[in-house]
Structure 1
């Protein structure tokens, strides 16, 4: 970092400028130096991390390379080359001893062993640093010798030209039984005829390939029998499973559980019966993929079951817009399952999916930026479905538009106006506007204002008021607690009488019928008890020269 001048520090000390300002200046001065130091440190780290040793001809720089190289050498029957993957620490060991040890190790692995799929083994020179093992050790599987578990470990050593060389650890080799102490023949070796053991294909005896195929068929049949039996027992004990939606959930589990159980049985039986570990290692990724497909298939079927159940409930509630939301979410969930499954399968097979994930992230950002209005409309549709301010069939007013809701879609909502036209409003705009829903009205307001003639006498006014109050109180559809009739104002041309009440009905046509009857009755009361309604007033204006000009001025009656 470049030093700060002393003069600048003294000026700070004696200056009247606020201290925070000078602190900001100091930070700006120091920032280039900090950045430069950080860049130098990063460059040094990158240079230090770059490997300076040459490539190993046997591919033993990483744990995965060592496992792959040993399996290939054993599959080719080249035990001399396989010996170079063993950590023969004893100085008396010869290359022939190493070949014999490699053959004995293969036999131990053929008996009862569990090895990690090659794609899951670290492909870094330093190995997996998060496996709770010393940094120079890597566990790649386990084997059973004399009913005891033996860890199959790799040990990191230093090669002649420098750099790490991963070898099968001496600690594991000490547990390998020698040829004279080798365990008895496996079930497959006892069962297969000699010519199927002698003929090899793909690094394993031909009989082992046939045995693995037969074990796969038997495993699936056993899994099918177990799952069918469980479904029968559950249906017999729990009667509710015969009805929807419980039956849908139970049936959704049947096929995925059957596949997953078949994969587990295949792995277990191939280990117990002594299928060659070379062959098992070739198909280790396949069993993992089958298990993943079973899980994804279970989620896929559960999405279908939940969607079907939700659609039935929404149809019962006449919520057609909710069905669109459910179908959209169903498609989105299935697309996510497919993308996740493809990425995981490629990763299991050993492909580098980092670049693909980065491309998906960039593509997702670009898609989100380009589809802002679509996302906004989708969120608006979700809001309309969740809050339910409107439903299909409701008469509402949105902004300046009034009409009956005909459809609530994923992008927009359609209204049928009183002019019988269709107005389409994007859901993003629809949900952000003021919505007045007339369908939820529980009663109608009846509040006319009656204008009596100015020459109506006070006794006549009282008679009119009594008659109007009796009309409201006698009607069965008028709410009595809120009904009132009052003389509210004396204007220059009329006496105003305000009527306020609620008509107890939700039907608009019935409301109009009741309103019509009440208005006719009130007109009769005003004409019979008083002197009628006030009429519009006309004024005659006369000019100075005698010419007359008549101007009509209507007053609201």
Structure 2
């Protein structure tokens, strides 16, 4: 079968026209995609900086949350730009979004515990039941808060032990914050025998607190009979101090109470 030169030339010419059309079409698509990527990258950076600066104007808004939300906004813009770029090449973006959603659901189920810690971290940073430098007790976790992250919170126990607690553990249990209110109360109780003067004991206990500037005058220290048994009366000294002074004042008053009654017993003998 002989090849007709005229038909061959026509076929080649048609192919060249089609190739030229494809090159022109995809050239515009590539140029448009590049422009979208460049503009999207710039816009994502601007959105991140604007949101970071805007949240900084909110009083008390945590620095970690500012960074987290500004990064989320940046990646959201970049994700939208990526979908738009795919649309430039004729890809069905609805299918892409559905696939991304399915992948996100699968990842969410696989990382359920991690995402729970992130959600708890956001709530801890937003509502601030505990802050850096505060001494807290949450369930079996006790210590001074050193860092609150999105996944876990780092604390230092009273004996210096390093403690890393998952945020979900801290969020789902009652928090005892020994620092937040700025004052702490302490009670020191002793047992007075049946032959001892309870009124005099109360006066002596209150006198121990006089002159100690670490002890608050309001509420004023007080001593009172707190319990009664067949052979003794429990007398309690109650006072208030700052959380920072609490351990030292407790130790000093405990030692002072012991010395006071030890001296009385020695004098009686």
Aligned partner of 1:337 among 77, 84, 92: 77
Note if 1:497 corresponds to 2:232: no
Confirm or deny that 1:464 pairs with 2:208: no
Of 360, 365, 383, which residue of structure 1 is paired with 2:105?
365
**Aligned-pair Cα RMSD in Å:** 3.8
1:515 equivalenced with 2:250 (yes/no): yes
Displacement after TM superposition at 1:368 (Å): 2.0
Match of 1:420 among 132, 152, 160: 160
The residue number in structure 1 matching 2:10 is: none
Task: Determine whether 1:351 maps to 2:98.
Answer: no
Partner SS for 2:80: helix
Normalising by structure 2, report the TM-score.
0.71
1:137-152 maps to which residues of 2 (within 5 A)?
A: none
Cα shift at 1:294: 6.0
Find the aligned partners of 1:490 and 1:354 in 2 and give their Cα distance. 78
Is 1:437 aligned to 2:177, yes or no?
A: yes
Q: What is the SS of the residue equivalent to 1:515?
A: helix
Alignment partner of 2:121 out of 344, 358, 381: 381
CA contact (8 A) 1:444 1:502 kept: yes
Higher relative contact order (CA 8 A, sep 6+): 2
| Alpha carbons of structure 1 residues 490 and 356: separation in structure 2 relative to 1, 3 Å | closer
In 2, the alpha carbon distance for the partners of 1:326 and 1:481 equals 40
Q: Secondary structure at the match of 1:359?
A: helix
For 2:33 and 2:186, locate their aligned partners in 1 and report how far apart those are by CA, in whole Å: 72
Tell me the residue number matched to 2:189: 449
Alpha-carbon distance, 1:448 to partner: 1.0
Shift of 1:336: 3.1
TM-score, length basis structure 1: 0.38
CA distance in structure 2 between the partners assigned to 1:302 and 1:395 by the alignment: 39
Instruction: Please name the residue that 2:43 is paired with.
Output: 299
Q: Deviations over 1:48-86 (max 9, x none)?
A: xxxxxxxxxxxxxxxxxxxxxxxxx9x96xxxxxxxxxx
The 8 Å contact of residues 49 and 70 in structure 2, kept in 1 or not, is answered as: no
Query: Residue 531 of structure 1: CA displacement?
Result: 5.5
CA distance 1:437–1:313, change in 2 (3 Å): farther
Is the alpha carbon distance of 1:500 and 1:367 closer, same or farther for their aligned partners in structure 2, counting shifts above 3 Å?
A: same
Deviation at 1:493, TM superposition (A): 2.6
1:398 deviation in Å? 1.9
Quote the offset at 1:472 in angstroms: 3.8
Give how far 1:523 is off. 4.4
Q: In 2, Cα distance between the equivalents of 1:418 and 1:527? A: 31
Aligned twin of 2:243: 506
Contact map agreement 1:473 1:480 (CA 8 A) in 2: no
Q: Which has the larger radius of gyration?
A: 1
Distance 2:234 2:251 in 1: 20
Q: What secondary structure sits across from 1:390 in the alignment?
A: coil
Alpha-carbon offset, residue 302 of structure 1:
1.6
- How far apart are 1:483 and its partner, in Å? 2.6
Alignment of 1:305-344 (within 5 A): 305-306=49-50, 309=53, 322-323=63-64, 325-344=65-84
What is the match of residue 123 of structure 1?
Answer: none
Q: In structure 2, what is the Cα distance between the partners aligned to 1:334 and 1:478?
A: 51
> Which SS does the other structure have where 1:468 is aligned?
helix
Shift in Å at residue 381 of structure 1?
1.0
How big is the shift at 1:380? 1.0
SS in 2 for 1:455: coil
Distance in 2 between the 1:524 and 1:515 partners?
A: 14
Deviation at 1:525, TM superposition (A): 5.0
Q: Could you tell me which residue of structure 2 aligns to residue 485 of structure 1?
A: 223
Structure 2 gaps, min length 5: 1-13
Look up the SS of the partner of 1:448 in the other structure: strand
Question: Kindly tell me: are residues 527 and 362 of structure 1, through their superposed partners in 2, closer, same or farther at Cα, counting changes over 3 Å?
Answer: closer
Change in 2 beyond 3 A, CA 1:423/1:311: farther
- Residues 37 and 82, structure 2, Cα contact 8 Å, conserved in 1: no
Partner SS for 1:433: coil
**Number of positions where the alignment pairs a residue of Structure 1 with one of Structure 2:** 246
- In the TM superposition, what is the alpha-carbon distance from 1:376 to its structure 2 partner? 0.9
Gaps of 5+ in 1: 1-72, 77-201, 204-278, 533-557
- 1:408 is aligned to 148
Task: Work out the CA distance in 1 between the residues paired with 2:32 and 2:72.
Answer: 25
Shift of 1:513: 3.5
Distance 1:311 1:461, change over 3 A: same
C-alpha change, 1:387 and 1:420, in structure 2 (3 Å) is same
1:273 maps to none
